[in-house]
Amino acid sequence: MTGLAPLLDPGAAAGADERLSPRSAARRLLGRPELGAVVGAVAVFVFFAVAADPFLHWSSFGTVLYASSTIGIMAVPVALLMIGGEFDLSAGVMVTSSALISSMFSYQMTADTWVGVGVSLLVTLAFGAFNGIMLVRTKLPSFIITLGTFLMLTGLNLGLTKLISGTVATKSIGDMEGFPAARDVFASHWTIGSVDLQVTIAWWLGLVAVATWVLLRTRAGNWIFAAGGNAEAARAVGVPVARTKVGLYMAVAFCAWISGQHLLFSFDVVQSGEGVGNEFLYIIAAVIGGCLMTGGYGSAIGSAVGAFIFGMTSKGIVYAQWNPDWFKFFLGAMLLLATLLNAWVRRRAEATA
Amino acid sequence: MTGLAPLLDPGAAAGADERLSPRSAARRLLGRPELGAVVGAVAVFVFFAVAADPFLHWSSFGTVLYASSTIGIMAVPVALLMIGGEFDLSAGVMVTSSALISSMFSYQMTADTWVGVGVSLLVTLAFGAFNGIMLVRTKLPSFIITLGTFLMLTGLNLGLTKLISGTVATKSIGDMEGFPAARDVFASHWTIGSVDLQVTIAWWLGLVAVATWVLLRTRAGNWIFAAGGNAEAARAVGVPVARTKVGLYMAVAFCAWISGQHLLFSFDVVQSGEGVGNEFLYIIAAVIGGCLMTGGYGSAIGSAVGAFIFGMTSKGIVYAQWNPDWFKFFLGAMLLLATLLNAWVRRRAEATA
Amino acid sequence: MTTPHTLGKDAPQPGTPLVALTGVAKSYGNVRALRGVSLEVHAGQITCVLGDNGAGKSTLIKIIAGLHPHDAGTYAVDGEEVRHSSPRQALDRGIATVYQDLAVVPLMPVWRNFFLGSEPTKGRGPLRRLDVAAMRATTREALARMGIDLRDVDQPIGTLSGGERQCVAIARAVHFGAKVLVLDEPTAALGVKQSGMVLKYVAAARDAGLGVVLITHNPHHAYLVGDRFVLLKRGTMSGSHLKEAITLDALTREMAGGSELDELTHELSRTPAVTEPADGADPETRA
Amino acid sequence: MTTPHTLGKDAPQPGTPLVALTGVAKSYGNVRALRGVSLEVHAGQITCVLGDNGAGKSTLIKIIAGLHPHDAGTYAVDGEEVRHSSPRQALDRGIATVYQDLAVVPLMPVWRNFFLGSEPTKGRGPLRRLDVAAMRATTREALARMGIDLRDVDQPIGTLSGGERQCVAIARAVHFGAKVLVLDEPTAALGVKQSGMVLKYVAAARDAGLGVVLITHNPHHAYLVGDRFVLLKRGTMSGSHLKEAITLDALTREMAGGSELDELTHELSRTPAVTEPADGADPETRA
Amino acid sequence: GCSSTGGKRAEDRAKRLAANGSAVNTPHWTFAMVTHSGAGDTFWDIVQSGAKQAAAKDNIKFVYSSSDQGDQQAQLVQAAIDSHVDGLVVTLAKPDALKAVVAKAVSAGIPVITINSGAAQSRQFGALTHIGQDETIAGNAVGEELNTRGKKHALCVLHEQGNVGLEQRCAGAKEKFTGQMDNLYVNGTNMPDVLSAIQAKLQSDPGIDSVVTLGAPFADTAAKAKQQAGSKAEIDTFDLNAQVAASLKNGTIGFAVDQQPYLQGYEAIDLLWLYRYNNDTLGGGQPVLTGPQIVTKDDADALLSYAKRGTR
Ligand SMILES: Nc1ncnc2c1ncn2[C@@H]1O[C@H](COP(=O)(O)OP(=O)(O)OP(=O)(O)O)[C@@H](O)[C@H]1O
Ligand SMILES: Nc1ncnc2c1ncn2[C@@H]1O[C@H](COP(=O)(O)OP(=O)(O)OP(=O)(O)O)[C@@H](O)[C@H]1O
Ligand SMILES: [Mg+2]
Ligand SMILES: [Mg+2]
């Protein structure tokens, strides 16, 4: 080390570098991906606070948070997956599958609901592993693979439910053993003052925290960024890209399991046809939150902000009591504006930082 | 030239190169992207020919071709767009918008239907231009931009139709001037023997031919591949990337207009809620046909083969009279298998070619 | 496009540089990559830009090529001040560039890459189409003349070796360079023979009256063909010399920032001066 | 991992090459990139692989690094025959590689790229986490020692200059190279000073007992540090020499395929030998 | 160029619009309606028309929202509670999903009326009354009508997979139908797909003698498919619209089952108003049935004009 030190450029040791313009802490903050999205979220919040009277009630806040959390729980792993460079179109129906399996297993086997919950976890993780292994084995685009699983799960949900229950919905398991305990875990809520806070909010925040930790502070996180940013290069320096991707699909499956159990234990009965199309809400939340569609960039917190923007917008339009025929129009316009604002803020921050 | 010739490696001028293994013409053919998909198509065809008796009737062939063509017409520009590195989630509803505009304009203005058709063309192209210009101006991902347009168009379709017609569908324009002529162009059919061939099949094949010509033999085609393969590099060597992308979105709009007019003139009345979700069918067709999700690779013929595989599969399951509850399951499994076969064939062809 | 239309000037004066940058600056966000750099490119001369890694050479090139607009200073082509907002404009003014990262589209065939952005066509109206045969032939030829004997101009350029790709980019720029040829480390990935060919091309371009900007880390190459040398250091200009005014040794010394290659040669043939084990720093210094 | 467990051999015999390739071949589809190439890497020696562009040097490297499996021939590490199915296996056997296309993830910060695939952690169980401070410090240091003074190890590596990126890749390989160091044109994008530093590192690695494979197009560099020279031509071996057996001039001549740099120098200082105008072939020869 | 036939002008010429204002001076209450409908559904469009008509008459602010996903529908009801609406109309197609939130509304003192589906649960959840009837009953009516028409092999076309209401319609028809009944799933947002799928089904099974579509817009398409497939099947449908009325008249469609959606919307709002204004309930809280009514060629003339203005 010492032998080489004199070769160092003299300017190097000095802290400040003349090649850098000074940059304030506030500006640094604005440069972060997720904090760009926060500006969008604040704008949407202020907008609806003005445009919709009931939006500012505490009880509405609980509703908006709940709506955001149901999307947000899935948006977290979907964001990780997108950072890892892949898609999962089966995420939406997998939630329903997970709920159906849990419910039907418990009912048909007359087992304790916890047994059903456990079986559902295993099967759902197997779905995730199937997605991942197919992807890395066949090297087909994830769009195709998960589209296949999406269609197959949709068919399975309906076909099996009708085969077993005779209708498109499951039988009630509300009177079975273990149901109340499982409901406490997956579908309870606390009332604080006039606000009704669902347990999904806690799940959501917990998942965001864990995912952020994993992304930024663990080897797995490093590998996720690398797998999405440049899979070939990552493989060349020894990153287990295939294993990372399979893991990501299983993370999606795990969160689908949580969401599915919430669905089951809050409504007791599961409709087999639901969940189709929700995969796009998750992707939307992740993209609004700053994830790149092409992989290699994004954050879990961003996905949470994205889910929150989506939740606020979709419920805010209802609170504002605008003409429901135009609901989608307003939703599209608001999302576009929020993302534009976010991008604009970020670009400003970068240019002048 | 002559002065440098001696510097050339002696082996260069000779036709055969010792560094190449010999490669038969058949193998070369198999290496082409679209011809890999053809194998998948043949397999699906043979499968249903065996599994479903009515599948081989000539009249069924007409039905399958019609189903394929309605997807195929849109799959062509969607494939070009994907080669150019972008998505269009608004493609599905844009078809409906185009039909609605045409119908409502003619009706409300009591104008000749051709006037409505013309106005619809202009407005639809404007939608496409909006998508493209927003994309190149804001530099947001196309997923977000076209998701915004998708939602807004969905809202507009419903909102405007209800505002103008009072119901969720348009009024009939079947008794208006110009209708029969327009129907001949967009929604006629010929009966050849027992086969009923819809005019959409001709539109489809025509579009595939034009798109193939553009892709392989024009400057615009070169630019499309370059814009999708490496937009920065393309810009650096002087390719008008922004203009190319706007053009691609307008091509999608143009085909949406054709499909929309077909919808209007074959069903006379347009339901404002139609078209949602069809954008994915187009993308599916393009991807099955070998387009890369990441851009820079694919073909128009491939998209046609993809549409045909999709059409055969979805109708073949009906002809086979399998349990309809499992329809989606079979659809997913067949698509996955066809794509797997296609990928496998291609890989074999490349490895041994 | 080639005749400037500035008021008061009818044609570039003899001696007017083809390209003149004065006090140019460029920042990427808060990174100041370039400050106060001036440079002239004259017809029939080769201007070499030299400097350490990260000195800002490629940034300078990108400004000339129109890939980035400059933040400050002036940029004149044929005496007329310009501000390119796209590389197309620079190309249309006859400035062709080889970028360090090559600017190729990996999945496209070699011949399509070669002509990308300036495709020759034949036919008319709706029948206007690429002149594919000519494109293929020209590509093969241009590369063969550079000493690259391609098996197949139809293979995706991404499957070529690094040096082969480099040669395609150079051949392309040489083919399209009308007035100014800008080359960012063209010989970096090239073999001895290919390097020689490229330098020959550069010299030929100069002799044909083009202005050439050449970036290289090889002082031998630079001294061999260069007429003037611009030295960059940490984003600023640290010197500008005519060939007459500097020797190869002095140039090498300036490029190496004081340490000399000869000294290094000496050092390397002895027992090692570096006492460090190759697998990294000792644990204490780590954190 | 470092001790081989082949039957009948307890430890690598002195003189057993660290890496030995015999008659290796590799095809990409119908392109035969490599045929019948043999090569030995000994501890404390530098093996230079030389050859024209497209000769197959990088392909050879990729086989050693485990990125591609070989189609024919044998590949032995410490005398034990291996068949790597992923670069991880080669890394675990102590073979670290600098790829020509660098293998970096553009959007990731420099320090994350530096340690990618071999991240140091601290803590235990669920609290096991990246040792971020150490990673940052080590990166900065390792680069500084190479003469690269980075403003910010947190900037995405894609925003570094070509040479800076090259240095990160080299510093990484040097840091992790346990037994064999494989370098594919490491000095191609580097300045005079940085090239010198890299050669010093290579020499230091050799002296620390590592086996080194060095690919370069610069005969001066090769001759300066190399112990044995393997020459590739169009995918086959065209020669293999020990340093004692060849002079710099002969090496240069072999690398240039007969034509000589001196001759070129001569030619370039005269009026041009190339009669062609720089903008391309004449119309007749085109199609 | 202008068309001398049809179009808006023709409609205007025929139209006599009576200006209507509210007839009462009660406060401007807000009533919300939350249904399980997808966007742009014709049936629910007519329900809304009825509700709006009643709202205009009763000086009510009418707010409509809908989602075809159970949990979303529950969230929309919650949003209505958060907004402190003065009355609530919900559909109980997925009763379990709405159970908790309806109870919440009731305990918040919001009067609730259920419409369309949920006759069985309405009372139990604490609603004032139920208007309309189960899709199953409508389905039963179709099954019986098919029997009387002597059909042997029917096809039930579901335009959305996994939709409870549609499944109930088919299941109800199957229950009473003595012949064989097949289901066919089509993609309702893709009319060409509906056309080709029905066509394929008719081609593969020439024995089918009746096709039942579950929504008015699909009846015409089914008729088209029948013609192109050269089938002799009779086309029947649930719900009405102008095309169905016209087709009934010219005999392309055999019969249609009407649940009088207009009435469901109108009555729900009107009864809520009556309850708030006068604490009235109808029939002691027993379900009020709005159908099913089988309409055929004979009723077509009268229905056509109503269907055209969107109230039948
Ligand atoms: N993935 C691939 N597919 C097809 N051909 C390839 C592929 N990679 C390399 N080749 C071909 O194999 C040959 C050897 O390539 P390689 O990269 O090993 O050359 P190299 O000796 O490293 O050249 P350079 O000095 O230019 O880097 C080249 O002719 C190249 O075109
Ligand atoms: N897009 C960018 N964003 C931020 N910083 C950048 C960007 N591009 C270059 N830089 C920085 O600007 C400085 C100059 O870069 P440039 O590429 O011009 O150097 P160079 O002289 O070409 O070096 P080399 O010889 O290594 O190619 C470098 O320190 C680099 O880190
Ligand atoms: Mg550079
Ligand atoms: Mg190489």
Kind plus residue range of the DSSP H or E element containing D69: none
Lowest mean pLDDT among B2-11, D94-103, E160-169: B2-11
The pLDDT-based confidence of A16 (bands split at 50, 70, 90) is low
Strands (E), D82-235: 95-98, 121-122, 129-130, 180-184, 211-215, 228-233
Q: Is E236 helix (H, G, I), strand (E, B) or coil?
A: strand
Both tokens of residue A278?
């929700």
Query: Which A residues in the span 311-350 are in contact with C, Cβ-Cβ below 8 Å?
Result: 350
**What is the rounded average pLDDT for all residues in chain C?**
81
Residues on chain E touching B311 (C-beta within 8 angstroms)? 196
Residues on chain D touching C256 (C-beta within 8 angstroms)? 191-193, 196
pLDDT at C261 (0 to 100): 53
Residue B26 included in any domain: no
* Cβ–Cβ under 8 Å, residues E156 and E212: yes
Region A104-120 average pLDDT: 93
Q: Spell out which chain C residues touch chain B, with contact meaning CB-CB distance below 8 angstroms.
A: 65, 67, 86-88, 91, 97, 99, 101-108, 112, 115-119, 121, 128-130, 132, 141, 144-145, 147, 149, 151-152, 172, 193, 197
- Where is pLDDT greater, at A219 or D193? A219
The pLDDT-based confidence of E205 (bands split at 50, 70, 90) is confident
Is E190 in contact with B281 (Cβ distance < 8 A)? Answer: yes
Which residue's C-alpha comes closest to atom 6 of ligand 1? Answer: C159
pLDDT at B196 (0 to 100): 84
Is E71 in contact with A267 (Cβ distance < 8 A)? Answer: yes
Q: Is 0.95 topped by the overall pTM?
A: no
The pLDDT-based confidence of E277 (bands split at 50, 70, 90) is confident
DSSP string, B146-212: HHHHHHHHHHHHHHHHHHHHSSSBPPP-TTSTTHHHHHHHHH-EEEETTEEEEHHHHHHHHHHHHHH
> CB neighbours of D157 closer than 8 A, spacing ≥ 6?
D104, D105, D106, D108, D109, D110, D113, D165, D168
A203 vs A188: CA distance, rounded Å: 11
pLDDT at C5 (0 to 100): 39
pLDDT at D154 over 60: yes
pLDDT at C207 over 50: yes
Residue B24 included in any domain: no
The pLDDT-based confidence of E173 (bands split at 50, 70, 90) is very high
C196 alpha carbon – ligand 1 mean position (Å) = 21
Region D94-112 average pLDDT: 88
Number of domains in chain B: 1
Query: Domain range for residue A250?
Result: 34-352
Cβ burial of C126 (10 Å; 0-12, 13-18, 19+) is: exposed
- How far out from the chain centre does Cα C150 lie? 23
pLDDT at D47 (0 to 100): 93
* Cβ–Cβ under 8 Å, residues C257 and A6: no
> CB neighbours of C236 closer than 8 A, spacing ≥ 6?
C34, C35, C36, C37
**What is the rounded average pLDDT for all residues in chain A?**
86
pLDDT at B231 over 70: yes
The pLDDT-based confidence of A162 (bands split at 50, 70, 90) is confident
Percent of chain E with pLDDT over 70: 93
Q: What is the 3-state secondary structure (H, E, C) of B4-59?
A: CHHHCCHHHCCCCCCCECCCCHHHHHHHCHHHHHHHHHHHHHHHHHHHCHHHHCHH
pLDDT at B163 over 60: yes
Of C27, C273, C274, the CB nearest to A21: C27
Per-domain boundaries in chain D: 19-255
Region B252-265 average pLDDT: 95
pLDDT at A96 (0 to 100): 94
Residues on chain C touching B233 (C-beta within 8 angstroms)? 101-105
Name chain E's partners: 3 or more CB pairs within 8 A: A, B
pLDDT at E6 (0 to 100): 61
pLDDT at D165 over 60: yes
Altogether, the residues listed in chain E come to a count of 312
> CB neighbours of D195 closer than 8 A, spacing ≥ 6?
C217, D187, D221
Name chain A's partners: 3 or more CB pairs within 8 A: B, C, D, E
pLDDT at D280 (0 to 100): 36
Residue matched to tokens 């010198």: D196
A338 alpha carbon – ligand 3 mean position (Å) = 38
Is D105 in contact with A219 (Cβ distance < 8 A)? Answer: no
- Where is pLDDT greater, at D87 or C14? D87
Kind plus residue range of the DSSP H or E element containing D275: none
Is D119 in contact with A222 (Cβ distance < 8 A)? Answer: yes
Q: Please give the backbone phi and psi of residue D40, each rounded to the nearest 5 degrees, phi first.
A: -125, 140
Region D163-169 average pLDDT: 86
Is E82 in contact with A60 (Cβ distance < 8 A)? Answer: yes
- The distance between the two most distant Cα atoms of chain D, rounded to a whole number of Å, is 73
* Residue of A236, A256, A278, A264 whose CA lies nearest to A67: A278
Region E289-311 average pLDDT: 83
pLDDT at E43 (0 to 100): 86
pLDDT at B103 over 60: yes
Give the model confidence (pLDDT) of E90-143 as tens digits.
Answer: 999 888 889 989 999 999 999 999 998 888 888 899 899 999 877 888 899 999
Percent of chain B with pLDDT over 70: 89
Residues facing C76 on adjacent strands: C20, C81
CA closest to C146 among chain B residues: B8
- How far out from the chain centre does Cα A224 lie? 15
pLDDT at D263 (0 to 100): 58
Cα dihedral A154/A159/A161/A165 (nearest 10): 160
pLDDT at A353 over 50: no
pLDDT at C227 over 70: yes
The pLDDT-based confidence of E312 (bands split at 50, 70, 90) is confident
Residue B13 included in any domain: no
Chain B CB within 8 Å of residue E306 CB:
no
D58 alpha carbon – ligand 1 mean position (Å) = 7
Sign of CA dihedral D247, D248, D250, D255: positive
**What is the rounded average pLDDT for all residues in chain E?**
86
Distances (CA, A) of E113 to E124, E273, E275: 12, 11, 10
Is A138 in contact with B343 (Cβ distance < 8 A)? Answer: yes
Give the model confidence (pLDDT) of D139-152 as tens digits.
Answer: 998 888 877 778 78
Distances (CA, A) of A228 to A84, A163, A222, B48, B140: 4, 41, 10, 39, 19
C246 vs C50: CA distance, rounded Å: 14
Pairing of strands C46-51, C95-98: unpaired
A325 vs C99: CA distance, rounded Å: 53
pLDDT at D285 (0 to 100): 33
Cα dihedral B54/B57/B61/B67 (nearest 10): -30
Region A146-175 average pLDDT: 89
Superfamily grouping for domain D19-255: P-loop containing nucleotide triphosphate hydrolases (3.40.50.300)
The pLDDT-based confidence of B77 (bands split at 50, 70, 90) is very high
Cβ burial of C111 (10 Å; 0-12, 13-18, 19+) is: buried
Chains A and B touch, using 3 or more CB pairs below 8 Å: yes
Q: Within 10 Å of residue A192's Cβ, how many Cβ atoms?
A: 10
E112 vs E123: CA distance, rounded Å: 10
Q: Is A157 helix (H, G, I), strand (E, B) or coil?
A: helix
- Where is pLDDT greater, at C188 or A132? A132
B68 vs B208: CA distance, rounded Å: 13
- Where is pLDDT greater, at C274 or B281? B281
Both tokens of residue C31?
């990174």
The pLDDT-based confidence of C25 (bands split at 50, 70, 90) is very high
When scoring B23, B217, B237, B350 by the number of chain C Cβ atoms within 10 A, the one with the most, hence best to mutate, is B237
Is A272 in contact with E79 (Cβ distance < 8 A)? Answer: no
Residues with a beta carbon under 5 angstroms from ion ligand 3:
C 58, 100; D 161-162
Answer yes or no: is the C-beta of D113 below 6 A from any ligand 1 atom.
no
Which residue's C-alpha comes closest to atom 1 of ligand 2? Answer: D159
pLDDT at B191 (0 to 100): 85
**What is the rounded average pLDDT for all residues in chain D?**
81
Name chain B's partners: 3 or more CB pairs within 8 A: A, C, D, E
- Give chain D's radius of gyration (CA, Å): 21
Q: What is the CATH number of the domain that holds B207?
A: 1.10.3470
pLDDT at C199 (0 to 100): 87
A99 vs A264: CA distance, rounded Å: 5
pLDDT at B15 (0 to 100): 46
- How far out from the chain centre does Cα A137 lie? 25
* Residue of A293, C197, A18 whose CA lies nearest to B5: C197
pLDDT at B80 (0 to 100): 96
Crossing angle for the helix pair E216-229 and B58-83, to the nearest 10 degrees: 120
Give the model confidence (pLDDT) of A229-285 as tens digits.
Answer: 999 999 999 899 999 999 999 999 999 999 999 999 988 888 888 888 899 899 989
Is D86 in contact with A235 (Cβ distance < 8 A)? Answer: yes
Q: Within 10 Å of residue D68's Cβ, how many Cβ atoms?
A: 18
CB neighbour burial string for C53-85, b if at least 16 within 10 angstroms, e if fewer: bbbbbbbbbbbbbbbbebeebebbbbeeebebe
- Where is pLDDT greater, at A150 or B35? A150
pLDDT at D265 (0 to 100): 58
pLDDT at C278 over 80: no
D240 vs D50: CA distance, rounded Å: 10
Residue A27 included in any domain: no
When scoring C108, C118, C154, C167 by the number of chain B Cβ atoms within 10 A, the one with the most, hence best to mutate, is C108
Which residue's C-alpha comes closest to atom 27 of ligand 2? Answer: D162
